[in-house]
Structure formats: C-alpha cells, structure tokens
Amino acid sequence: MATPLERWVEEQAGLAEPESIYWCDGTEEEARKIVEAGLTKEKINGHSVFHELNRSSFPGSYLHRSHPTDVARTEHLTYVCHPDKVTAGPNNNWMPPLEAKEKLSRLSKGCMRGRTMYVLPYMMGHPDSPYAKACVQLTDISYVAVSMRIMTRLGKGVVRKIGGSENFVRGFHSVGDLDPEKRFIMHFPDENFVWSIGSGYGGNALLGKKCFSLRIASWLGLKEGWLAEHMIIIGIEDPEGRITYVVAALPSACGKTNLAMLQPSIPGYKIWTVGDDIAWMNVGPDGRLWAINPETGLFGVAPGTSLKTNPNMVRTLKAGTFYPTLYTNTALDADRNEPWWEGRDGPVPENVLDWQGRRWDHLQQDSKAAHPNSRFTAAISQCPVVSREFNNPKGVPISAIIFGGRRTELIPLVYESFGWQHGVFSAARMGSETTAAAIHSIGALRRDPMAMIPFCGYNMGDYFGHWLDIGKKMKDPPGIFFINWFRRDEDGKFIWPGFGENIRILKWIINRTNRKAGARETPIGLVPRPGDIDTRGLDVPAEKLEELLEVNPGEWDRETEDAGKFFEKFGDRMPAELWEEFNKK
Ligand code: OXD
Ligand code: MN
C-alpha cells in the first residue's frame, strides 16, 4: 500500500503532469547527474541552467543566471493563508486557504509538462535532534534540487524516517513559465504546506529556508513553545579559550554572513560559525536558551565579499569539495571563466559579462556587473571556521541576543536593554533601511521587528507576546543588545570601520554578560562609554567614537512616534507590556 508521502507525490504529479518523477537520494553521483541536466538539457530564459566555472581556480562551481524579473524575494506575492486574516496579521498578505488553493491549482495545472519532477526528501536540523523536522520538496528545476542538497541534509534516509507517517512538511515548487503575473509563494501553516510557483529565486524557491524554517516554523514555535528566528549563531572564543555563544538578527543583506564568520582584529579572539541565517531556539531542561541552525549551507550576498571584508567566506568558496558551489547572477570574468562581482579582490577584469550575460563596460556610470542581490550557495562544512558544535543535536547555549539594522543616523553603535521586556520592546520597534534582497524601493526606512517582518508566519502582535512568554520560561534570560554598524558622517561615509573591528563590540557584549564591562545608563538602555570598548590599535578618532555612542533624547522622539504608529497596526494583539514600555519612553 502506498504511504502518505507516496500518495502526496502522486497527487501533485497528477496536477503538474511532469514527464518523469525522480526521487533524489542525496549522493554525490546523483548531484553530478543533476548538474549535468542543468548544463545541457534544462533551460531558463533560453539559456542552460548552469555554466561550469574555471575548474582549477573554482573547483565544483557553477554560474546560474536567473530570469531577469526573478532576482530577489517577492514579498508582495508572498501570502500566509491562515483560516482567518487576523491570525496572519497586518504583517502578512492573506488569502482564504480555499481561494488560494483554487488559484494555485489553476496556475499549476500541467506546469511541469516536459520537465522532470525532482522529489527532495530533507531534514531541517540534525536527524538526531529533538528539534529537527522531516520535509519533502518537489521541484522542476535542477538549480533548486542542487541548492537544496547544499542547504539541507538531503537524502533517502529521510524517506525511511517519514515511513508511513503524515508528519512531514510539504513543499510544492515549480518555476512555471516565470511570468511575474503568475508568481505566488503561499503558505498553509496549519497543513505544514508551502506552494510556490513562478520563481526560481532562493528565498522563494528553496522552501526549507524562509518558507518553512521561518514562516511555517515560527507558527509551529508559537504552538509548541519555541522560537524560529532570522539569526546567525556564533561562538566567540576569548584569549582564555572560553567560548560564548550568541545569536544575532539583522535584516537581509546587512552583513549577517560577514558577522557569522568574522576574522577578529584583536589577537586571541576567534569566531566559530554555527549558522549564518536561521536559528531555532528552545528553552532547555536547564532553563537556558539553546539554538540550532537547521540549515547546512550558506546563501550569501556576493557583492562586497573579499579577503578584506570576509576572508573566511572567500576560503569557503575556494574549498572545492563536490557539493557543489553555486553562483547566482554574479558577473563573469570571461577571460578566466571566474565569477566576478563588485568588491571582489584584485583589479576589475578586462572582459566582463554582466549578470545577464551581456558585455559590460565598467566606465559606464552606475551600471553594476553583478546584480546587487547576486548570491553564492556553499556548504557550511567548507567554511574554515565552522564550529565543532555545528552538528550537535542539542545545539549551543545562548548567552546574548543581538539585534541590528542598517541605520544612517540615530541608533548608537551598540547598547544593551534594561532587561527582557525592555529588550523585546526595543526589538519590536526596530527599523532598518531596505536593501536589494527583496523587490521594493531601496534605502527606505521600514519597521522590521527582530528582522522578521518578511518572515513571521502569523500576527506579529502575537509574536511579541510569544517572545515575552519565552522570557518568562527562562531562569536567567540572555541579555538583549542592539548594534548599528551603518552610521554615516556628513560626507556620507561610514563612521565605523566594521568587519574584523566588530569584534570590539562583540567583546564588550560578552564582557557585559560576564559583568566585566562598564556602561552608562541612557533613556534607551545601557551604552558603553568610549573607555568601555577595547580601542587599542583602532583607527577611529575619539570624537567619532563619542558620536557613534551618543544618545540624543530629542532625536529619539520622532523614532518613538513612528514606532507607536507601527504598534497601533496590531490593535488588541499588541501586548500591554510593550505599551507599558512605550509609555515610559
Ligand atoms: C536571505 C534573505 O536570502 O534574508 O537570507 O533574503
Ligand atoms: Mn536571510
């Protein structure tokens, strides 16, 4: 008798009508075959899905050029279909589940004709972890099949694990005809189901990532008492060899991958990478917060990645095991057959093709060769500083939670909240300037609580309440901190050097958690005095550092007023405790 999984795959195939169905087993040999299909048979926009890059300098690496309209997450086409609109909240697009399914069934009828339907069984989290979830995604494009193999623990063991159970997360994905008018990413949280059509872009198409690990998982977390967050997880080793684990949430394309594998400028410190995008966090039996990274790969923004900004990422990309490594919408150095992007090491090559494969003239002002949201996809096991705890099914214990954003003005370089409730309030009012990771105007300030505005799978008023409840479950909750690397001076230049120097801020944070660093009290929280930060060897004038740590209560009034308007949107779902904090101002 067919299992629920087999029946579901058959049903979906009945709708999509693929030419063939291929169950992936996760082996290397299979990955080579799928890459081969992408090099030869499968096409996107008339071109092959993959182009093989220079075998000796970029072993196992392939360039993928997406459809030009399909280069970032499409938040306006992303829906969370709870039975009622209020549960989805003002932070999500909503459609009644039945109507959504009718619409998607019409668009999906025969969408895989002439194509292979890949069946991808995968785990989010280590299979031995009590927090891991078994999932199956269907897709009709090699790019997604290969990406999922990098980003998740994919293999036939997952089919055995699911067995005759109904308990697995389902994802249906098809690129359809890539028509933006027929593009939708719809979530059905009560059914553990994601349905995505019309896009091949990472956040829209790798359904284990944002769709499941954040939108659906955040809803499961509400029901089951845990948190699914848009956070990196790192271990910070100090000169005595102690490792303190912290999580940090930053909006998309604000330097999360750089922070996750930072090479510290202060001798004796070391960063160990557990995760660069997603953290699932549970309160353990010891009353502490524990975090796992459910993914196994890195899907980072390429432009700006260099030996100066992120040497460990450059090393990861060159590691050359056969996972493989993918480049999406970067430019191509046509002479060397190497990927290229703005900010890569070395001089601009002479003969560059832009992200759409057109000859690029670097003298043409404002024209970028690589798409600003071009990406690499690489296995975390290739990262030279991957934490030895990465595969620990229990995860790592968290001592501090960091929130950050991209703010030209106002927000100090770092500060600590007064306690859990105040920290949740401060994270709820967070704002950040928008980036190219999603399709919208760039550089506009938007409220992005906990860097989760595009990813929270239910009403954010309830989400804030859930954060408050999690705090109550802990004996000694981690401190909540805020960072902003992005303050600019009158000439528009970044004041803080960032990158490896950010260790100075992390050092202050971990010393605060050990009560070894000082701070001064301000209306927004505890801010270091310049002398509280290790500035030995730092090339930032004292007055600039003071400027970065300044809190001007007058300037905060506008910010608070704007945050209040945002809070009002959540009506009676907004927890009273946050209004209480708001009214303290
Ligand atoms: C990502 C994103 O791809 O946040 O990680 O957009
Ligand atoms: Mn992200």
Beta bridge partners of 400: 246, 479
State the average pLDDT over residues 311-327.
92
Ligand 1 pocket, mutate which of 232, 252, 259, 328 (most atoms under 8 A from CB): 252
Ligand nearest to the CA of 437: 1
Q: Are 76 and 92 in contact (CB under 8 A)?
A: no
Give the DSSP per-residue string, 328-363: ES-EEETTTTEEE-TT-SSSPPSSEE-TTS-B--TT
% the chain with pLDDT above 70: 100
Q: What is the mean pLDDT of residues 36-65?
A: 95
pLDDT value at residue 437: 84
Give the range among 116-120, 316-320, 342-346 with minimum mean pLDDT.
316-320
Q: Can you tell me the mean pLDDT for 262-283?
A: 98
> What's the CA angle centered on 76, arms 458 and 436, to 5 degrees?
105
Residue environment code for 282-302, b if the CB has 16+ CB neighbours within 10 A, otherwise e: bbeeeebbbbbbbbbbbbbbb
Question: How far apart are the CA of 22 and the centre of ligand 1, in A?
Answer: 28
The arithmetic mean of pLDDT across residues 88-104, rounded, is 98
Ligand 1 geometric centre to CA of 455 (Å): 10
Distance (angstroms) between ligand 1 centre and the Cα of 205 equals 12
Q: Parallel, antiparallel, or unpaired for β 325-328 and 61-64?
A: parallel
Interatomic CA distance for residues 582 and 585, integer angstroms: 5
Closest residue by Cα to atom 4, ligand 1, is 252
Query: Of ligand 1's atoms, which has the minimum distance to the CA of residue 73?
Result: 6
**Residue 443 vs residue 452, higher pLDDT:** 452
Average pLDDT over residues 441-469: 96
Q: How far is the CA of 277 from the centre of ligand 2 (A)?
A: 5
Residue 156 near residue 23 (C-beta atoms within 8 A): yes
Q: Which ligand is nearest to the CA of 279?
A: 2
Q: What residue owns the CA closest to ligand 1's atom 2? A: 252
Q: How close is the Cα of 418 to the center of ligand 2, in Å?
A: 28
List the residue whose alpha carbon is closest to atom 1 of ligand 1: 252
User: What three-state secondary structure class fits 222?
Assistant: helix
Domains 4-225 and 229-297+389-582 share a fold: no
Residues 117-131: what's their mean pLDDT? 97
Q: Which atom of ligand 1 is nearest to the CA of 203?
A: 3
Q: Which atom of ligand 1 is nearest to the CA of 72?
A: 6
Ligand 1 atom with minimal separation from the 455 CA: 4
Could you give phi then psi for residue 377, rounded to 5 degrees?
Answer: -130, 115
Strands (E), 177-242: 184-188, 193-197, 227-229, 231-237
- CATH dotted code for 229-297+389-582: 3.90.228.20
State the pLDDT at residue 45: 83
Residue 225 has pLDDT above 90, yes or no: yes
Q: How far is the CA of 533 from the centre of ligand 1 (A)?
A: 31
Among all chains, which residue has been given the structure tokens 């909750």?
A: 477
What are phi and psi for residue 393, nearest 5 degrees? -60, -25
The CA distance from 310 to 251, in Å, is 18
Nearest ligand by distance to the CA of 454: 1
Question: How confident is the model over 521-546, as pLDDT tens digits?
Answer: 999 999 999 999 999 999 999 999 99
In the annotation, is 254 catalytic? yes
Residues 6+ apart with CB under 8 A from 144: 118, 137, 173, 200, 205, 206
- What residues flank ligand 1, with Cβ below 6 Å? 73, 202-203, 252, 277, 299, 437
Q: Which is catalytic among the residues 111, 135, 211, 254?
A: 254
- Strand order of the β-sheet with 352-353 is 338-340, 331-333, 352-353
pTM passes above 0.85: yes
Atom number of ligand 1 nearest to Cα 277: 5
Q: Tokens in use for 164? A: 């005759």
Q: What is the average pLDDT across 262-284?
A: 98
Residue 576 identity (one-letter amino acid): A
Distance 585 CA to ligand 2 centre (A): 31
Q: Which amino acid residue places its CA nearest to atom 3 of ligand 1?
A: 203
The CA distance from 307 to 558, in Å, is 39
pLDDT at 190: 97
Judge whether 155 and 187 are in contact, CB under 8 Å. Answer: no
pLDDT in tens, 475-519: 999 999 999 999 999 999 999 999 999 999 999 999 999 999 999
Give pLDDT tens digits for 141-177: 999 999 999 999 999 999 999 999 999 999 999 999 9
Name 204's Cβ contacts closer than 8 Å, sequence gap at least 6.
Answer: 70, 73, 74, 78, 183, 185, 196
Query: Per the omega criterion (within 30 degrees of 0), is the bond before 477 cis?
Result: no
Give the residue extent of every domain in the chain. Answer: 4-225, 229-297+389-582
pLDDT at 585: 64
Local structure of 58: helix, strand or coil: coil
Evaluate whether 105 touches 191 at the Cβ level (below 8 Å).
no
The token duo for 193 is 């189901």
Average pLDDT of the segment spanning 202-208: 96
**305 phi/psi in degrees, rounded to 5:** -85, 120
Query: How far apart, in whole angstroms, are the C-alpha atoms of residue 486 and residue 531?
Result: 21
Please answer whether residues 281 and 188 qualify as being in contact, where contact means their C-beta atoms are separated by less than 8 angstroms: no
Strand segments (E) across 456-539: 479-483, 520-522, 525-527
Task: Among 299, 373, 450, say which to mutate for ligand 1: greatest number of ligand atoms within 8 Å of CB.
Answer: 299
What is the pLDDT averaged over residues 228-238? 98
pLDDT (0 to 100) of residue 201: 94
Q: What is the CATH number of domain 4-225?
A: 3.40.449.10
Q: What is the mean pLDDT of residues 70-88?
A: 96
Cα separation values, 283 from 126, 247, 394, 480, Å: 18, 14, 11, 16
